[in-house]
Structure 1
Amino acid sequence: MDASLNPEEVAEFFGDSFDQVAMFADQLAIQGELRGLIGPRELERLWERHILNSAAVVQYLPKQGTIVDIGSGAGLPGIVIACMLPDAEIKLIEPMERRCAWLSEMVDELELQNVEVKRGRAEEFHDAFTADAVTARAVAALDKLSRWALPLLHEGGEMVILKGRSVAEEIEPARKVLRKFKCTEPEILQGATLPGVESTTVLRTVRTKP
């Protein structure tokens, strides 16, 4: 665990999901660089930059229903969400075969019964199913991501995504696609986790009509 973090505070934050999340973090630390999932400089702050950063979105997601993570990659935030929301059905969409292999391995090793790994691009699943929420982390600019994510939502479904601090600048270029899918005005929220850990910026919008 990162030297800057208090292990007891981290364990308390994750509660019942801590053991699974810690196992995932351990495997990411052991295999992540070798398999091209994270860079070597990320290892010292793996928990703060990746695990807690991913966990920050959970407070804004539904506790049940279907949640889709677009471009799951290393499983951030999808695997972390699945550990923390065991009553939700999590679909991990990832186009790269080697990353899908990693995700499937983690699902098996962590004994996650609520996860389905789906290889492909988000737009390939637009007519396959709908979800209560779609999330993503470091995938694309808001206008492009909205085109991929919003068709996956049913009426009342939410796009809840992890973004950088400058996300407000991405809203205007995305207006056209947000209007097309009858979305509410995007909210910019702060995803706090532990004291001393920088909060994560989250953007949320609701699709109000099919």
Structure 2
Amino acid sequence: MTVDTDALRPELEAGLAQLSLEPALAGPLLDYLALLARWNATYNLTAIRDPREMLVKHLLDSLAMQPFVRDIKTLADLGTGPGLPGIPLAIATPGLQVTLVESNGKKARFLREAVRQLKLPNAQVAESRIEAFQPDATFDAITARALATLPLILELGGHLPGPDGKLLAMKGVVPEDEIAALPPGWRVSSLHPLRVPGLPAERHLVEIVRTRA
């Protein structure tokens, strides 16, 4: 599938402006979108097929959490699928080292190709189940988008943040039941409403940290 990136550029640049991000990011972000659309035609990496819908629900939705990763150094994107939100965040935040954790072989192949083609020195792929992933060092933060409930994310990936690390979970409406069911040792430190350009749906970022003894 060929994407007319020139037709999408004005809407993406307008969305980037609303998120206080540089318009120059539109180029590499559209390169990623075009690559995703092309692979998706064969490998079914995402249920969203329409490029404009991808622009809003994948690119801008992922970038809405960029202010919350600007000041950290390492991020693990758990169950990243085709690289969401990790690849848009890596493109927009050169100082952030992103590890894309994905167990599905075809998605991991796409991720490696995307990192290579987009020339992203700050992104690496870990083809692994989340609970089996044992990196050399812990992360400043982990994130997950449309992966699982908050308790399950922590059950699978709670070993990955460092002592002062956190989970930055992207959710729709505030998941009160999930928050109430957090496992011992974890608490919500902040709840951030997110405004995604072009998306009328409610979005929140839930920030979860370890409780202090």
Q: Report the TM range for the smaller structure's normalisation.
A: 0.7 to 0.9
CA distance in 2, matches of 1:201, 1:32: 27
Return structure 1 stretches of 4+ with deviation > 6 angstroms.
none
Give the TM-score of the pair, scaled to structure 1. 0.85
Amino acid at match of 2:144: A
Q: Does 1:197 align with 2:199?
A: yes
User: Identity percentage over the alignment?
Assistant: 25
Q: Does 1:105 align with 2:113?
A: yes
CA distance in 1, matches of 2:193, 2:41: 29
Contact 2:29 2:91 in 1 (8 A): yes
CA RMSD of aligned residues (A): 2.4
Change (3 A) 1:20 1:125: same
Contact 1:186 1:204 in 2 (8 A): yes
Change (3 A) 1:162 1:40: closer
**Aligned positions of 1:154-193 closer than 5 A:** 154-174=162-182, 177=183, 179-180=184-185, 183-193=186-196
Q: Does 1:6 align with 2:11?
A: yes
CA distance in 1, matches of 2:181, 2:12: 42
Runs (5+) with no aligned partner, structure 2: none
CA distance in 1, matches of 2:40, 2:62: 16
Change (3 A) 1:7 1:57: closer
Match of 1:65 among 49, 54, 73: 73
User: How much does 1:67 deviate?
Assistant: 0.5
User: How much does 1:209 deviate?
Assistant: 5.2
Q: Does 1:207 align with 2:207?
A: no
Residue in 2 that maps onto 1:39: 47
Residue in 1 that maps onto 2:153: 145
Contact 1:157 1:206 in 2 (8 A): yes
Give the TM-score of the pair, scaled to structure 2. 0.84
Residue in 2 that maps onto 1:56: 64
Match of 1:132 among 129, 140, 143: 140
Contact 1:63 1:85 in 2 (8 A): no
Change (3 A) 1:207 1:44: same
Higher helix share: 1
